[in-house]
Structure 1
Amino acid sequence: MASFLFALLLVFAASLGGRDQWLVARFSDALGQSLPLLLTAMASAALLAGVMAWVGAGFAAQLPARAAQMLVAFALALAAAELTWPVKSAAPQEPTRSLGAFAIVLAARQVGDAARFAVFALAAQASLPATAALGGALGGAGAIALGWTLGGEGLARWPLPIIRRVLAAGLLVAAIITGLGARYGA
């Protein structure tokens, strides 16, 4: 249950102001708040959370306990680094009306973002990785729905760069503590 809640909250927070949320917000502005757009974006977030949880748990199962813990530390550090990367949220010039093309572009932005690295890390550490996948899917879907609802102008009112940097600092501290625990701890 803890991995579900941690994944839910961490993925939601890490997705705030992320490239995927901005993309959905911009397309929501350009194409209108259509339900198929929202469902496609939520399905992409859920699918990639499941894939990253499966990969994280698979890697961790093949490693000794301390090496798996170090893997978690590296994943958290990568998530922190991604959160510090500036997000450029230009409006699409000629947005396509193809949900398939939109899903591919969205999935490409999600595959290496902080939220999915967090799901990877939590699933690698969890005794039940499916709970981390479910929490990550719901957290990612919630952040997508927020972007879809607010649109680009609504998201621009939030202090998203500050939120992302504060979260990055917290994840970096967690990565250091986890790495030191793997290196020197029990």
Structure 2
Amino acid sequence: MPAFYLTLMAVLLAGVGARDQVTVAGLTQRQGARPGVLVVALLSAVLTGALAGWAAALMLAELPPPARQIFAAIALGLAGLESMAWAPRPDPREPTNSLGALLLVLLMHQIADAPRFLVFGMGVGLAGPVPAGLAGVLGGSALVAFAWFQPHLFSTPAARWTRRIVGAALVLAALAAVLEIFNLV
């Protein structure tokens, strides 16, 4: 069960202020709390979390145990870099109010974001793709639901700074993991 708990904590931290959250919060502020937006956001989080867990299961079968830890450290570092480098637009544009378009946008935001990198990497590194995938689904769902219920919190500078600080912490954790793997610490 460490794969579930560690992945859930990592996803919840890395997902604060992410592009999917900002998109859901921006639409909710502009359009009101439409239940369809919440349903689409939850569907997207479930699909991408399950996809990351499935990809981790495929990769786990291919990598020998020593390489799994290195792979997890790389995924952790990529998640941190993604959090620091790609800041979400503060006011997403949605001219059509289409739930189908929103689903596509959220899938594209989530498919390669920091939380899904973490699900993928930790599923491989901790040899638990199913618990990591479940944690990704639960954590991703909680993040978009929070954005729908509290959209005003994501237009503040604190949300953007939190994302960058968590990204830096993930990069440092990846460096520490690499140093430990190669017995340099």
TM-score of the two chains, using structure 2 as the length reference: 0.90
CA contact (8 A) 1:66 1:183 kept: no
In structure 1, the partner of 2:120 is 120
Of residues 65-74 and 175-184 in structure 1, the stretch that sits farther from structure 2 once superposed is 175-184
CA contact (8 A) 2:57 2:130 kept: no
Gaps of 5+ in 2: none
Q: Does 1:154 align with 2:136?
A: no
Aligned partner letter, 1:169: A
Any idea what the Cα deviations from partners look like across 1:19-76, whole Å, max 9, x if unmatched? 1100011111222211121011011112111111211231132011122211111101
* Offset at residue 94 of structure 1 (A): 4.4
Aligned partner letter, 1:154: L
Change (3 A) 1:22 1:4: same
Cα distance in 2 between the residues matched to 1:65 and 1:92: 42
Q: Does 1:163 align with 2:147?
A: no
TM-score of the two chains, using structure 1 as the length reference: 0.89
Change (3 A) 1:98 1:2: same
Cα distance in 2 between the residues matched to 1:14 and 1:140: 10
Any idea what the Cα deviations from partners look like across 1:137-175, whole Å, max 9, x if unmatched? 111111101111122x33224612332232222211221
State the number of aligned residues: 184
In structure 1, the partner of 2:62 is 62
Aligned partner letter, 1:164: R
* Offset at residue 86 of structure 1 (A): 4.3
Aligned partner letter, 1:108: M
Cα distance in 2 between the residues matched to 1:31 and 1:95: 11
In structure 2, the partner of 1:109 is 109
Change (3 A) 1:94 1:130: closer
Question: What RMSD in Å do the two structures reach over aligned CA positions?
Answer: 1.9
Change (3 A) 1:124 1:116: same
- The alignment-based identity, stated in percent, is 34
Cα distance in 1 between the residues matched to 2:167 and 2:48: 21
